[in-house]
Amino acid sequence: MNYIGIDPSIISTGVVINGKVFNYCRKSDAVKEKSVDSYTKWFDLCKDVITYRYIDLTYVEGYSENEIQKMRMYDAASDIIISDINDNIRPDEPTQIAIEGYSYSSSAGDIIDLVTFSTLLRRKLLTVTTDITILSPSTLKHESCKLTYKPIEKQIGGKKPRTEYIYRNTLGIAGGSFNKTDMFGALVDNPEFNDEYCTFLKTHQTSILFTKTIKKPLEDCNDAYLLYLFLLKRNPN
């Protein structure tokens, strides 16, 4: 089975294909200004475990012209993603894809552009497989918690009591309330996650957590990796 996790974003899409991590980003974010091949801090740290693909985000003047330009850019970016998927899956085996849905807390302009890009991408993903699972951001948070932390049993109800399972991390934060740092914790706190990417995260955990937020490209690639692990857990065999 081929397993693919995708966290779509206009400026930084994370994709994991059978454990191989890709980031589709602007070159200006990854490479230092006026430099040919010298990466910026976080991209340099991750260069051995993440493959970078540069996408064109050149906007133009004029409302109508710019809307058409966006379609061209998103179409080209999604083509690159599909090409990498086809190059890195085993064609004789079935494929499952998990992709994160939209966060409606985003600004109106951002959500419209993301929907446009994601719709183009999803349509092309259907040429790879129809076995696609779309997880809402809140569901991904909860599933990330379930990947690593043991459930807490809670009896609820009166005459007909039932057992409910609550998932929290070691700090007592419920999975549904996870932020990007908590989701990072789900990757590094699990002793069973010992592949190259998770080992890298554990090795550099102190420097990654030194800042208040998880920086790109890790922010999006972590989400894509959690989606990939979600598929692996759902299909233990």
In-domain check, residue 104: yes
Summarised one tens digit per residue, pLDDT across range 128-157 is: 999 999 999 999 999 999 999 999 888 777
DSSP structural state of residue 194:
-
Domain that holds residue 154: 2-227
What is the rounded distance in angstroms from the CA atom of residue 45 to the CA atom of residue 200?
Answer: 10
Report phi then psi at 84, rounded to 5: -65, -40
- Examine residue 232 and state whether it is found in any structural domain, yes or no: no
Contact, 19 vs 106, CB < 8 A?
A: no
Closest CA to 14 of 39, 45, 49, 40: 49
Does residue 95 lie within any of the structural domains? yes
As to burial, measured by CB atoms within 10 angstroms (0-12 exposed, 13-18 middle, 19+ buried), residue 92 is exposed
- Does any domain span residue 234? no
What is the per-residue pLDDT across 85-116, written as a single tens digit (0 to 9) for each?
999 999 999 999 999 998 776 655 588 999 99
Tell me if 206 is assigned to some domain: yes
3-state DSSP call for residue 18?
Answer: coil
**In 55-150, at which residue ranges do the beta strands (DSSP E only) sit?**
95-100, 132-135
Let me know if residue 124 belongs to a domain: yes
pLDDT for 36 equals 67
Pairing, β 2-7 against β 95-100: parallel
pLDDT in tens, 164-214: 889 999 999 999 999 999 999 999 999 999 999 999 999 999 999 999 899
Q: Which tens digits make up the pLDDT trace of 216-237? A: 999 999 999 999 999 999 987 6
| Domain count along the chain | 1
Residue 233: inside a domain: no
H or E segment and range at residue 167: strand 162-167
Local structure of residue 39 (DSSP, 8 states): B
* Domain assignment of residue 201, yes or no: yes
Tokens of 194: 């010992």
Task: Mention every residue, 6+ apart, whose C-beta is less than 8 A from residue 195.
Answer: 19
